[in-house]
Structure formats: structure tokens, C-alpha cells
Amino acid sequence: MEILAYGVLTDERPLLEQAFAGRHELRCLDVFLNRDTAPLAAGHPVVSSSVNAVLDAGTLGALAAGGTKLIAQRSTGFNNIDLEAAAELGLTVARVSHYSPYAVAEHAWALALAVNRRLARATVRTREFDFRLDGLLGRDIHGMTVGVVGTGKIGACFARIAAGFGTELLGWDLAPNPDCLELGMAYTELPELLGRSDLISLHVPLVPATHHLIDGAALARMKDDAILVNSSRGGLVDSAALVETLRAGRLSGVGLDVYEEETGVFFTDRSVRGISDDTLARLVTFPQVLVTSHQAYFTSTAVGQIIDATARNIDDFAAGRRNENTLVPRE
């Protein structure tokens, strides 16, 4: 089958080409899929999209008009896809239901450790031969109370690492994870977790009920010197409220791998043009904030698993089969 893959990153391309060699005809683009770029897929029955594609009704309509039958998204999240419109257009939509949870959990800890020990600031200083320690004081993770918001596969991995540091574990989820209970995690209501935790890491999906889960009121409940990490979905955090919290001199560290308005910005080079998003521009100016560009998943292990799952989704579609990754059509 002829496949057009959008949003292919430089390090991802050889892995994609290797996975599809001898199986399907693959064409890779570095542009992202949206209404403007959808016409490029004309004549391709299969389109593979990246995590920041904008698959609204307009984009889907353009794809369907060009002959596309399958959209194989190379990510777990699908809040960017209008599934009802896809169903009405007769499109099949598949995702990657899971990949290495260690990749995301380890990156979340990398953010937590980096903001706690001021590594970004220290790196900039030493490159300028400034070897002072002023303003670089951190805290021991050992002995901290760590709150894990969402204790699925990734949250459980994060908690396992936290236990290795010798922390007290608090969790919040719809139901306790037995693996986390074995680590000694105590499940609490979210307000209590926010108020007691020294470090809070978010690992819940973005659904209507979790949109701006961390809003101004939630931020106000946190300790003044708490560390907040979000490696899940940007929409979990009210970014404007976070800026106001930081302006008030609260929170000792914030690590963000996602941002609620990241589409069209993350994965692009804005070093010359700059950005028009005042909230994001303000966030990155705070010395205790570290922002990475949705790279938590970006390990060779995880990307390889994503590509393997995507290839299987396409093979199954070609053979007329459904699998656990199929979002549309529903059973």
C-alpha cells in the first residue's frame, strides 16, 4: 500500500523506512498534518500522522476527498482527532495504544532532578566559565513526599523510581494500582495529595474531566517550594494560572515536556522567528522552569515500538482485520 507519513523527525525516518521496506511504499514528509497539508495525501490510501497533527473535520474531509482510507497515528493520545467526523466519512483510525512506559517515566524524573538541582542554569554558567554555586541550592529527593497523579503504567514506573530514592509515595487515581500499593503508596484525594507533596508528577490522560486539573485553585494548595512535573498532556495544567503562581514567587521547580498550545510550535525551529504565545514565552523565562519539546517518548526503544505497532496497524487494515489499536470504526 502507498503510505504518506507526516511529521517524520530526522531520527525517526530511518526507523520508519526500515520497518516498511519490502512491505509498503513509504513517502515521508517533515511537515505536520493539518488542513493546509492534507491535500498532499491525495492518492495515498494510508496516512500516518504524528502526535501534533490537527485532525479536525476539515482535515479529515480533505483526506477522504483525496482517497485516504486509513489514518495510522504514531502516538497514544488521540484527543487531536475528531473521531465522530472520521466515522461519518468512513475513515478507519488507529493509534498506538502503548509503548515503553519507562521512556516517559524516566524523562519525568530527568525533569524533576534537573529543576531541583538547577542543572540548566548550572550548564549555562559553566559554558561561560562561571563556576559559582550561588542560586544552585537543591534538596535531597530522599525523604521527600512524592505525589503521583495517575498511576497507570507510566505513573507506576515513575513511582517505582521514586521508591528507589527513598520517598513517601502518595497516589491519586480512579482505582489503586496493586503494583503501587506494594511500593507502599497511600492513595488520597487530590487536594490532600497536592497539599502534602514536595514533588508532584502528572500521568493522567487528557479528557474533559482532567482538562486544567491543575488550575489556580490546585496550584494554591501546593507547597510554596513544591516541584511540579508534567510529561503527560499539556491541557492538564492551566498555563496562565501557572505563570501567575510563578510570578508570586511560588514553586521551586517546574518541569514541562508538554504545553496546552504546543501544536504548531513544538517540533519546529522558532529560534529566528520567535513565538507569538506570550504565556509560553513567559514560562521559559522563569529560572526554575525547564521546558522540553514533547520528547519524553523519544527513545530508540519507544520509537521502535511505536513504529512496529503502526506497521501492524497498517498490515491489519490491508488484511481487513481490526486490532486493539483501532479507534474507528468502533465495535
Q: Is 243 helix (H, G, I), strand (E, B) or coil?
A: helix
Is 139 catalytic? The answer is no
The model carries a pTM of 0.94
* Residue 183 to residues 129, 149, 163, 164, 310, Cα–Cα distance (Å): 43, 15, 7, 10, 34
CA of residue 189 relative to chain centroid, distance: 24
Instruction: Say whether both 209 and 259 belong to one domain.
Output: yes
Identify the active-site residue in 12, 95, 233, 260: 233
139 and 155 co-located in one domain: yes
Same domain, 250 and 110: yes
State yes or no: is 233 an active-site residue.
Answer: yes
CA 259 to chain centre: 9
Helix (H, G, I), strand (E, B) or coil at 237: strand
Verify that 88 and 138 share a domain, yes or no.
Answer: no
What single-letter DSSP state applies at residue 18?
H
Phi, psi of 239 (to 5 degrees): -65, -40
129-185 confidence digits (pLDDT tens) = 999 999 999 999 999 999 999 999 999 999 999 999 999 999 999 999 999 999 999
pLDDT at 297: 96
On whether both 318 and 171 belong to a single domain, the answer is no
Q: What are the φ and ψ backbone dihedral angles of 269, each rounded to 5 degrees?
A: -95, 110
Dihedral of the CA atoms 49, 57, 207, 6 (nearest 10)? 10
Domain match, 27 and 107 both = no
Instruction: Give the model's pLDDT for residue 22.
Output: 86
Query: Are 203 and 214 contained in the same domain?
Result: yes
- Tell whether 46 and 120 lie within a shared domain: no
Cell of 274: 520567535
Q: Is the pLDDT assigned to residue 331 strictly greater than 70? A: no
Residue 181: domain span: 101-291
Average pLDDT over residues 258-282: 95
Please indicate, yes or no, whether residues 67 and 204 belong to a single structural domain of this protein: no
The fraction of the chain above a pLDDT of 90, given in percent, is: 96
- Region 74-85: mean pLDDT is 93
User: By the 8 A CB rule, do 237 and 266 touch?
Assistant: no
Mean pLDDT of the chain, nearest integer: 96
Concatenating the DSSP letter of every residue in 42-109 gives TT-SEEEE-TT--B-HHHHHHHHHTT--EEEESSS--TTB-HHHHHHTT-EEE------HHHHHHHHH
pLDDT band at 330 (very low <50, low <70, confident <90, very high): confident
**Which member of 12, 294, 321, 331 is catalytic?**
294
Q: How confident is the model at residue 200 (pLDDT cuts 50, 70, 90)?
A: very high
What's the average model confidence in pLDDT over 303-313? Answer: 96
211-242 pLDDT tens trace: 999 999 999 999 999 999 999 999 999 999 99
| pLDDT for the residue numbered 69 | 98
Q: Which has the closest alpha carbon to 155: 190, 108, 188? A: 108
For residues 105 and 85, membership in a common domain is answered with no
Question: What separation in angstroms does the CA of 218 have from each of 123, 168, 212, 320?
Answer: 32, 21, 9, 47
CB-neighbour burial class of residue 170 (10 A; exposed 0-12, middle 13-18, buried 19+): buried
Could you tell me the three cell numbers for 5?
Answer: 507519513
212 is catalytic: no
117 in the same domain as 42: no
d(C-alpha 75, C-alpha 98), whole Å: 8
> Which pLDDT belongs to residue 77?
86
**81 is written with which cell numbers?**
482527532
Catalytic residue among 17, 262, 324, 331, which? 262
pLDDT given at position 23: 84
> In this structure, are 9 and 33 located in the same domain?
yes
Q: What is the DSSP letter of 122?
A: H
Which amino acid makes up residue 173? D
Tell which residue, 95, 48, 52, has the closest CA to residue 69: 48
Which residue from 109, 116, 112 is spatially nearest to 138, judged by alpha carbons? 116
Tell me the average pLDDT across 294-314. 96
CATH number at residue 144: 3.40.50.720
Total domains in the fold of the chain: 2
